[in-house]
A and B are shown apart, each in its own frame.
Chain A
Amino acid sequence: DTGVSQNPRHKITKRGQNVTFRCDPISEHNRLYWYRQTLGQGPEFLTYFQNEAQLEKSRLLSDRFSAERPKGSFSTLEIQRTEQGDSAMYLCASSPRDRGANYGYTFGSGTRLTVV
């Protein structure tokens, strides 16, 4: 297992376009998280999946954002009608059910989005 994989690593898009990011967690991890990290800030929680169920969404996740985790495996995060304020690093993390997230997440390398 190569850890949490995120694609693409970098994405440059024009304002108003839609973008989709993918996260492949560690295979036996049933918990999956998305965070957003802007320059000079710590990561901020966006949403959480337990298996295929999206159990919590932050108020940061506006109607333009949607996340899915079909079949409880990989997850996608889509941003519609991108705005310059969406420019950030989008981090995915996963953790196993039996140990819980209190033992720490495994993070991916992130997708850096630049909206021009």
Chain B
Amino acid sequence: AQTVTQSQPEMSVQEAETVTLSCTYDTSENNYYLFWYKQPPSRQMILVIRQEAYKQQNATENRFSVNFQKAAKSFSLKISDSQLGDTAMYFCASTTTSGTYKYIFGTGTRLKVLA
């Protein structure tokens, strides 16, 4: 069975600074996908970034990048030049590459960006 663990319930960062959110996972699958989703207060969850497990290169989307360590089963999210609009819950998730593609989510990290 897949599991996803986020060990940081809350974090804060000063505006314009860099912050890293941690995520570890466990899976017996050979191929899988990993995601970071952002859930702003009272708003819908949106995809931030995704990583395919068979790709060694870390995914990057503008100010968001990941550090994917497959052997360590670690998938951290780095947010550079933090903005007030980055304040949200961040969820790490994994899925397999076949079947229903259901996601296993972590418990989330509440990030607050301070002015």
Query: By the criterion CB–CB under 8 Å, are A56 and B100 in contact?
Result: yes
- Which listed residue, A3, A48, A100, touches B102 by the CB 8 Å rule? A48
Does A12 make an interface contact (CB < 8 A)?
Answer: no
Query: By the criterion CB–CB under 8 Å, are B47 and A105 in contact?
Result: yes
Residues 28-42 (chain A) with a chain B CB within 8 angstroms: 31, 33, 35, 40-42
Residues 43-102 (chain A) with a chain B CB within 8 angstroms: 43-45, 48, 55-56, 91, 95, 100-102
Does A107 make an interface contact (CB < 8 A)?
Answer: yes
Does B24 make an interface contact (CB < 8 A)?
Answer: no
The number of residues on chain B lying at the interface, defined by a beta carbon within 8 Å of a beta carbon of chain A, is: 26
Give the one of B37, B100, B105 with max A CB within 10 A. Answer: B100
Interface-side segment among B38-46, B65-73, B75-83:
B38-46
Query: By the criterion CB–CB under 8 Å, are A102 and B44 in contact?
Result: no
Residues on A close to B: CB < 8 A? 3-4, 31, 33, 35, 40-45, 48, 55-56, 91, 95, 100-105, 107-110
13 new A-B pairs (CB below 8 Å) besides A56-B99, A101-B101? A40-B108, A41-B108, A42-B105, A42-B107, A45-B103, A48-B100, A55-B100, A56-B102, A101-B95, A101-B103, A102-B95, A104-B35, A109-B43
